[in-house]
Structure 1
Amino acid sequence: MNSAPRIGVFGLLGSGNLGNDGSLEAVLGHLRSAHPDAVVDALCGGPERVAARYGIPATRLHWNRAEYRTASRAGAVAAKGLGKAVDAFRTAAWVRRHDVVIVPGMGVLEATLPLRPWGFPYALFLLCASGRLFGTKVALAGVGAGPIGNRLTRALIRRSARLAAYRSYRDARSRDALREMGVDTTGDAVHPDLAFALPAPPAGPPTGTVCVGVMDFHGSDDDRARAEQIHRRYLDGVTRFVRALVEDGRPVRLLTGDACDGHVVTAILDAVDSPLVTAAETASLADLMKETAAADSVVATRYHNLICALKTGTPTLALSYADKSDALLDLMGLGAYVHPAREVDADRLLVQFRELERHSAELRATLAERNQVVSRQLAAQLAALSAALFPATHSLPAPAL
C-alpha cells in the first residue's frame, strides 16, 4: 500500500443514536492522529448528518429509504425485496474501493433491541462477505455481542463475524457470547468502549440535580410478544421515581440517547408536571457529558448515557436492559448499583439511589482511578488496531487519551 490508505467506516451512523455517533467520533479522532494521510468516507444510515458533522463523504447504507419502516402494502414489500438485491451490489462496489473498512463500536453482534434479520444483520453480512471477496480488511472494532434467539439473525451474525479480518469487543461478555455462537475468538481483544476515548468536561460544583436518562424501551428482540407490557412497566416505574425525587425537592434533568426517546420524556413531563423537571437538548455525547458532569448523580438506561456519566466521574446507577450495562458498571467499580429495566420498582430504585448518594465521595474517587486505567487500556488498543490493519509506513503511535 504505497498510496494513502483508503478507509471506510460502516454502520447505523448519523441516524439519531448518539452512542453510535460517539463511537464513530472516537475512531475518526484516532485515524486523524495516527493516519493523517488516510482518505476516509462512510456507508451509513444518515449520510447527510455524518458528512455535515464529521466532514467526510458519506453514502446511504440502504437504497430503499423506507428500509426500517414496516411494509404492509404490496408495493412497499416489493420495494424492500428489490432493495436487498440492489444493496448487495452497492455494498460490494463501495467495499471494493477501500483498503480497510472499520465498523466502529456499536452493538452490531447483539439483539438487545428489536431487529429483523433482513435489516442490519443482512447489511453487515454483505459488508463482511464483500470484504472477503475483494480482499478488503473488515474490522469489527470494539463491538458489542450477545445471545441471539432468532435462528436466521444468529446465522447472519455468526457468518459475518467469521468473515471479518479483525474483531475486538467492548467487554468480555461480548466475546463469550460470540464464542458460544461457534466463532473462534482466540486472539480477539477486549477493551473498554470506544466512547471512553472522547474528552470529558470537568465536573461542576454540587447543584443537587439528578440526571435521569430515559429510553423508548420495549425489551429485546425476543420480547416482541410482551413489548407493550414491558414498556408500560418501565415508563410507570421511571415516572414514579422522578416524582419521588421532586417530592424531595430535587431538580431532575431528563436525558435521551436516540431520537426515538422523545415521547418518553414528554410522557414523564406531563405526568409529573413540575418546574423541577426539565429536559436536556443533546446532539452528541459531548452534550451528554456536559449534563452529567453538572449533576450530583445519574440514573440512566441507555448504555452510552451510562458511559457519559461514568466518564465524567459522576456516581451512576444503571437501569440495566442487557449484560453490557452490568459489565460496564462492574468495570468502573459500581457493580452494586444496577436495577432491572424490565422490572422497574420505584420504591426499591429509590433505596438504591439513596445508597448511591450516601457513598458519593468514595464512588467519585473510584471512578477517577478507573478512568485513568481505562484511558491507558484504550490507547493501547487503538495502537493495536492500527498495527493489525495498516503497514508500518502508515502507523504512528496512538495519541495519549
Structure 2
Amino acid sequence: MTSAKETSVRVGVFGLLGSGNLGNDGSLEAVLGHLRAEHPEAVVDALCGGAEVVAARYGIPATRLHWYRGEYRTASRAGAIAGKGLGKLLDPVRTAAWVRRHDVVIVPGMGVLEATLPLRPWGFPYSLFLLCASGRLLRTPVALVGVGAAPIGNRPTRALVRWSARLAAYRSYRDAPSRDAIREMGVDTARDEVHPDLAFALPSPRTSAPSGPPGAVCVGVMDFHGGNDDRARADEIHRRYLDGMIRFVRALVEDGRPVRLLTGDTCDASVVAAILDAVDSPLVTDAEVTSLADLMKETAAADTVVATRYHNLICALKAGTPTLALSYAAKSEALMERMGLGAYCHPAREVDAGQLLEQFRELEQRSAELRQTLAERNLVAARQIEEHLTALTAALFPATGHTHTHTHAHAHAERKTR
C-alpha cells in the first residue's frame, strides 16, 4: 500500500516573500489558503527572501533565496564584493537542489516580470531565471501565477525576464498590460490567461457605508523614487512626490479630517515620518499595518482612500471603499479600470496637491454610487480568482500522480513556447 506521504504533492513557493512587502506576502497567503483548503495533502515549503519570517508566520519550512545574506545591500568593501560574487556561483547549485525536491514550484503573484521600481538585473531577475531554468532542466514545472509584468528598458534585465517567462511551464497575469508586455518581449502568450490579482482570494472585512459627518481618510504612501529608468532623476521625483503628499494631507487636516497613513513595505516608514513631522497634527496618525488583513481593516473603516502602492489599492477596493490611485505604473490604472474607478487616477511622478484635492472631493461626492459599483465588481473578481486557482491546481496536481503532473505541465509549456 502506498503511504499518504509518498503520494503527497511536494509544492515549492518562491519569491521575495517575508521581506517586508505586504503585497508579496498577501499573494503567498492566498495561494497557501487555497492549497490548505483544496489540497491539504500537499507538502509545501519556500525558497524566499525572508525565510525566518515566512517559517514563523506561515508555518512552512523556508530556505534563504540567496547564499549571501547581504545580497540586496550595496557592496563597497572587498569582503562584501567577494561574498556577492561567491553567492552568484553558489546560488545556481542551491536553487537547482531546491527545485529538484519538488513536484511543482509556484511563484505566487508579485511583479516578478517587471521593473517599475529600481531593480538590478543580477538581483531578483537573475534568481528568477535560475529557478525557471532549473525547472526546465530538471522537469519540475514552474508556474508563474497571477504575476505582474511591464515593459523593461534595461537590456540585461529584459533578457533575464524574457527567458524566465519562456522557460516557465505555466503563466498567468494579474492584468492585460502584463500579458501585453511579455508578448512584446517576444514570448508566445497565446495560451496565457489574465485573472484578478491573487489578493482577491483573501477574506474580505465586514464593511458598512459611513454615516454622519465626514470621517477618516486613509492615505497610503510609498518611498517612491520613480522606476528603473528614472534613476537619474530619482531624488527629484521623490521630493516632488513627498511635497505633494504633505500638501495634500495638510489640506485634509485643515478641513478637519482625520488621516490614517498606510504603508506597504518597511521602507515606507521614512515617508510616514516626514509627513507626521511636516504636518504636525493630532489628526494625522500612523496605522502601523503588518499584513494585507490589517490594510483591509483600515481601509474598510475609512470613508475614502488615497493610495500609491498597488496592494494598498487592492485592499481598499476589495474592502469596497471609494479609492483614488496615485499611479506609478500601468498596473494601477488597469486595476482601477477593472473595478470601475478608472477616472480616479493621479500621476505619482507629478503630484499636484490642488488637482488631487479636486479629484478627492469629486470621489467623495460619488461615494454611495461607487460603493455599489465596487460591491458588484468584487463579486465578479472573487468568482474569477476562485475559478483560476481551481483550474490551476487541477492542471498542476492531477489525480494520477507525480509523473503525470510533470508530463501535463511540460506538454502545456511546449505548446506555448513552440
User: TM-score normalised by the shorter chain: which range applies?
Assistant: over 0.9
Residue of 303, 306, 314 corresponding to 1:307: 314
Residue of 250, 263, 266 corresponding to 1:259: 266
Residue 393 (structure 1) shift: 5.0
Residue identity opposite 2:173 in structure 1: Y
SS in 2 for 1:392: coil
Residue of 8, 15, 31 corresponding to 1:11: 15
Residue identity opposite 2:329 in structure 1: A
Residue pair 1:91, 1:130 contacting (<8 A) in 2 also? yes
1:22 is aligned to 26
Residue identity opposite 2:66 in structure 1: H
Residue of 192, 196, 207 corresponding to 2:196: 192
Residue pair 1:241, 1:346 contacting (<8 A) in 2 also? yes
2:335 is aligned to 328
Residue pair 1:10, 1:101 contacting (<8 A) in 2 also? yes
Structure 1: any 5+ residue segments left out of the alignment? 396-401
Distance 2:299 2:136 in 1: 42
Residue pair 1:170, 1:191 contacting (<8 A) in 2 also? yes
TM-score normalised according to structure 1 size: 0.97
Residue identity opposite 2:92 in structure 1: A
SS in 1 for 2:7: coil
1:154 is aligned to 158
SS in 2 for 1:158: helix
2:65 is aligned to 61
Partner deviation per Cα, 1:111-162 (whole Å, 9 max, x = no partner) = 0000100000000000000000111000000000000010000000000000
Residue pair 1:171, 1:191 contacting (<8 A) in 2 also? yes
Does 1:278 find its partner at 2:285? yes
Residue 68 (structure 1) shift: 0.2
Partner deviation per Cα, 1:236-270 (whole Å, 9 max, x = no partner) = 00000000000000000000000000010000000
Residue identity opposite 1:302 in structure 2: R
> How many aligned residue pairs are there?
395
Distance 2:136 2:80 in 1: 32
Residue 203 (structure 1) shift: 1.5
Residue identity opposite 2:128 in structure 1: L
Distance 1:374 1:194 in 2: 10
Written as runs of structure 1 = structure 2, the 5 A alignment for 1:1-400 is 3-204=7-208, 205-206=210-211, 208-392=215-399
Residue pair 2:336, 2:342 contacting (<8 A) in 1 also? yes
Residue pair 1:35, 1:394 contacting (<8 A) in 2 also? no
SS in 2 for 1:369: helix
TM-score normalised according to structure 2 size: 0.93
1:398 is aligned to none
Partner deviation per Cα, 1:180-214 (whole Å, 9 max, x = no partner) = 00000011010000001101111254461000000
Residue 390 (structure 1) shift: 1.4
Residue 74 (structure 1) shift: 2.2
Residue 75 (structure 1) shift: 2.0
1:399 is aligned to none
Partner deviation per Cα, 1:22-45 (whole Å, 9 max, x = no partner) = 000000001111111000000000
Structure 2: any 5+ residue segments left out of the alignment? 403-418
Residue pair 1:100, 1:137 contacting (<8 A) in 2 also? yes
Residue pair 2:7, 2:401 contacting (<8 A) in 1 also? no
Residue 394 (structure 1) shift: 7.2
The runs of at least 4 consecutive aligned structure 1 residues that moved more than 4 Å come to 204-207
SS in 2 for 1:140: strand
SS in 2 for 1:114: coil
Residue identity opposite 1:380 in structure 2: E
Residue pair 2:307, 2:313 contacting (<8 A) in 1 also? yes
